[in-house]
Structure 1
Amino acid sequence: MDNAKILIVAAVLSASCTGNQQAYDASGTFEAVETIISAEATGTIRALDVEEGQLLTAGQAVGYIDSMQLYLKKRQLEAQINAVLSKKPNIAVQLAALQEQLDQAIREQQRIANMVKADAATPKQQDDANAQVAVIKKQIAAQQSNLGISSSSITQETSPLAVQIAQVEDQLAKSRIVNPIAGTVLVKYAEANESTATGKPLYKIADLSTVTLRAYVTGPQFSQLQLNQQVTVLVDDADGNYREYPGTVAWISDKAEFTPKTIQTKDERENLVYAVKINVKNDGLLKIGMYGEVRF
């Protein structure tokens, strides 16, 4: 157990032994959920517009990593798709000749039919005209089928290229540095014009609008606590007095920790303490690492 934790537990034990004179029931330090934002692409950082202490909003663009090679790769893949698609047959053009033959055959069929009615043509001539129309229709259907299969096959050839373009677009998106959560920049790890790699930290951010006081309570105090319980958090001010903040118990450990041996007397038995987390709305004066006390 580190020295800070020892001091916290010592304060808890001291407070628990002073009877009605105690000013607080537990003490601890403030913390927040800290998130390290890392690069999602490899390359040179062209811009990183963040500074320590800066407030950022969720979704705010704060910089980008050089992506010229990815852009050129996308252009190349798009050119390959266009080259493949240029091989697709123009079905309408290739069927135009057969369609013209069909139109002519239908006109001839109608002419023969009229002549048969006027006894100017034989039934065999009409049968031949009907057969000609049927043959041309079958030729058109067969040609349409062949051209459709060829066109579909060529289109399918572009599917792997389209997937590659989607992959490149995802990499391009990851080259843009977008802040994922609202909060305050705590530490900046990188600068513009530096080289970075996927997973390399860029900056650390935390939402300080609500901070958490991590305190330790003894066994008797533990039985008095429950989740969402309202408590009072006390923080020293510049005049030596206390500033009071309303707090809410957000988490209670279900495992006890032994009090460190270094703060016990020879007559003292081993004590158990429990960790609790209390959420406090921050007015801007509460800082990570600052000490606070709790009154139940």
Structure 2
Amino acid sequence: MPWTKRILYLSVVVLAIVLIFFTINPNTKRDVVYETISASGRIEGRTTELTANSPGKVIELRRDEGESVRQGETLAILNDAAIRAKLDMAAQQLAALEKQLQAANTYLEILTDQVDLEIKQAKASVNVAEAKLQTARAAFTVAEKESQRVKKLEQQQYASEQMKDTAILQTEVRESSIREAEAAVLQTQAQLALAKLGRKRIDAKRAERDALSMQSAQAESSMRELKALIDDWNIQSPLNGTILTRSIELGEQVRPGMPLFTLMDLQRVTLKVFIPETQIGQLTLNQEAEVLIDAYPDRRFPARVKQIAQQAEFTPKNVETREERVKLVFAVELAILDNKDNLLKPGMPADALIVVQAPVNPL
């Protein structure tokens, strides 16, 4: 429809609405008449491009262009034999590492208990040996004193030669016991030192266990990454909307970042129009409006002023006449409030009637 004819058509429609309104409501106050500003534009909307996160082959297509979808609904399914093989291998590797880790933990626990017991027993042996050494030294001291006493008595002829020899023999025996006890102490101390070396074995086994634990964690991380790739094969809609374009075919091999679907929430479409600077002062945010399209001449879609540009611009080039293009206009975005039947789609030409109030003389 040419631009001038469209404006004329809208003006006739508005006048008819006003006449019908006052015919039906003769008691209505006539000191304020609702007027409208008419403008034309195209339906717009925010699109969401759904891309592939992981490589795969399209093995199933469940939705096509023009179909309405719900958030979380599966649109397509991908598959990749190589990734599944990697996942199976990673699962086997993780299972083997977990078994090794379990065995390492069990061995480390047993080794720790064993070393602790050996150290405890070695310490007890050292204590016994040291106690025997103290006893031997005490006995030697007694024997030596007895030998000195008998020696003096023998010099005074109060003790026989036999008594002196016996005392000397006892001293030698006690001295020999000391040497044996000292050797036992040294031996038990060596056994204790050897038992304490078991702690280094524990440290070595603990390091091996920690290395296995790290390998297991890495294998588990690899599995999670592979599972995430597989989860991404289930291509789901991120919103309630309509599929505008489908960019893939059944059997096609896709790569990460490749576009799959373009979606739009048709419940949130807008109409962008351009208002002359002479009329922009009559508009405010949230003003009521109606949207009309040629495809549905009997339908009126309610709307509100959502956004008003702060700076003027020249009329866009898609306006038909040069006279209109050289005018300064302000871009105005109308939010369409009801598109539940998804009749309004991006790119459709549409007309807008923005309701304004202007005081006029009573009829």
The TM-score bracket by the shorter chain reads 0.7 to 0.9
Where does residue 32 of structure 1 map in the other structure? 45
Q: CA separation in 2, counterparts of 1:79 and 1:230?
A: 65
Where does residue 173 of structure 1 map in the other structure? 231
**Higher helix fraction: Structure 1 or Structure 2?**
2
Does 2:117 align with 1:59? no
Q: CA separation in 2, counterparts of 1:262 and 1:132?
A: 106
Equivalent of 1:91 in 96, 108, 121: 108
Amino acid at match of 1:292: D
Where does residue 335 of structure 2 map in the other structure? 279
CA displacement at 1:292 relative to structure 2: 2.8
Q: CA separation in 1, counterparts of 2:315 and 2:241?
A: 35
Q: CA separation in 2, counterparts of 1:290 and 1:238?
A: 9
Q: CA separation in 1, counterparts of 2:88 and 2:94?
A: 10
11 and 212 in structure 1: CA distance in 2 versus 1, 3 angstrom threshold: farther
Q: CA separation in 2, counterparts of 1:240 and 1:181?
A: 30
Mark the runs of 5 or more structure 2 residues left unpaired by the alignment. 16-34, 140-176, 356-363
CA displacement at 1:256 relative to structure 2: 0.4
Aligned residue runs from structure 1 range 129-148, under 5 A: 131-132=189-190, 134-136=192-194, 138-148=196-206
Q: CA separation in 2, counterparts of 1:280 and 1:187?
A: 22
Larger Rg over CA atoms: 2
Amino acid at match of 1:104: Q
Aligned residue runs from structure 1 range 225-236, under 5 A: 225-226=283-284, 228-235=285-292
Amino acid at match of 2:121: Q
CA displacement at 1:251 relative to structure 2: 5.0
**Structure 2 length normalisation: TM-score?**
0.62
Do the aligned partners of 1:58 and 1:180 also contact (CA within 8 Å) in 2? yes
| Greater Cα shift, 245-254 or 104-113 | 104-113
CA displacement at 1:98 relative to structure 2: 3.7
Q: CA separation in 2, counterparts of 1:47 and 1:63?
A: 5
Amino acid at match of 2:286: Q
Equivalent of 2:314 in 257, 277, 280: 257
| Greater Cα shift, 111-120 or 271-280 | 111-120
RMSD of the TM alignment (CA)?
Answer: 4.1
CA displacement at 1:141 relative to structure 2: 2.3
CA displacement at 1:170 relative to structure 2: 3.1
CA displacement at 1:219 relative to structure 2: 1.0
Mark the runs of 5 or more structure 1 residues left unpaired by the alignment. none
Q: CA separation in 1, counterparts of 2:231 and 2:250?
A: 18
Where does residue 199 of structure 1 map in the other structure? 257
Does 2:203 align with 1:186? no
Does 2:311 align with 1:294? no
Amino acid at match of 1:60: E
Where does residue 304 of structure 2 map in the other structure? 247
30 and 104 in structure 1: CA distance in 2 versus 1, 3 angstrom threshold: same
Does 2:127 align with 1:71? no
**How many pairs align?**
286
29 and 258 in structure 1: CA distance in 2 versus 1, 3 angstrom threshold: closer
Does 2:229 align with 1:212? no
131 and 53 in structure 1: CA distance in 2 versus 1, 3 angstrom threshold: same
